[in-house]
Structure 1
Amino acid sequence: MQDFASSFTHAMGLILQGDAELWAIVALSLQVSLTAVIIAACIAMPLGAALAVTRFRGRNVVVVLLNALMGLPPVVVGLMVYLMLSNAGPLGVLQLLYTPTAMIVAQVILVTPIIAAITRQTIEGLDAEYAEQLRSLGVSASAKIPTLLFDARYALMTAFLAGFGRAIAEVGAVIIVGGNINHVTRTMTTTIALETSKGNLALALALGTILILLAIAVNAAVSTVGLRARSIAYA
Structure 2
Amino acid sequence: MTTIYDAFLLALKMMWQLDEELLRIISLSLRVSLTAVVIGSVIGLPFGAFMALARFPGRDACITLLNACMGLPPVVVGLAVYLLLSRSGPFGPFGWLFTPTAMIVAQAVLITPIIAALSRQTVADLWQEYEEQLRSLGLTPLRAITTLLWDGRSSLVTAILAGFGRAIAEVGAIIIVGGNIAGYTRTMTTAISLETSKGDLALAMALGIVLLTLAISINAAATVIGAAARRGQDA
* TM-score with structure 1 setting the length: 0.95
Aligned-CA RMSD value: 1.6
Aligned length in residues: 234
Unmatched runs of 5 consecutive residues or more in structure 1: none
Contact 2:111/2:167 (CA < 8 Å) preserved in 1?
yes
1:77 alignment counterpart = 77
Q: 1:220: how far off? A: 3.1
**Worse overlay, 94-103 or 214-223:** 214-223
Matches for 1:33-182 after TM superposition, within 5 Å: 33-182=33-182
Separation in 2, partners of 1:71, 1:111: 10
Separation in 2, partners of 1:52, 1:232: 22
Letter in 2 for 1:107: Q
Separation in 1, partners of 2:81, 2:160: 23
Separation in 1, partners of 2:4, 2:168: 25
Contact 2:165/2:218 (CA < 8 Å) preserved in 1?
no
Unmatched runs of 5 consecutive residues or more in structure 2: none
Letter in 2 for 1:112: T
Q: 1:47: how far off? A: 0.3
Matches for 1:179-194 after TM superposition, within 5 Å: 179-194=179-194
Aligned pair in 2 of structure 1 residues 209, 86: CA closer, same or farther (>3 Å)? Answer: same
SS of structure 2 residue aligned to 1:56: coil
SS of structure 1 residue aligned to 2:212: helix
Letter in 1 for 2:18: G
SS of structure 1 residue aligned to 2:93: helix
SS of structure 1 residue aligned to 2:144: helix
Q: What whole-Å deviation, never above 9, does each CA across 1:102-146 have from its counterpart, x for those lacking one?
A: 000000100010110000111111110001111222201221100
Separation in 2, partners of 1:138, 1:167: 39
Separation in 1, partners of 2:46, 2:26: 30
Separation in 1, partners of 2:153, 2:194: 38
Q: 1:181: how far off? A: 0.3
Q: 1:230: how far off? A: 5.8
Q: 1:29: how far off? A: 0.1
* TM-score with structure 2 setting the length: 0.95
Q: What whole-Å deviation, never above 9, does each CA across 1:63-99 have from its counterpart, x for those lacking one?
A: 1000111111111111111111111111111011110
SS of structure 2 residue aligned to 1:160: helix
Q: 1:225: how far off? A: 4.3
Separation in 1, partners of 2:228, 2:52: 26
Separation in 1, partners of 2:152, 2:98: 37
Contact 2:11/2:202 (CA < 8 Å) preserved in 1?
yes
SS of structure 1 residue aligned to 2:142: helix
Separation in 2, partners of 1:205, 1:107: 24
Q: 1:31: how far off? A: 0.2
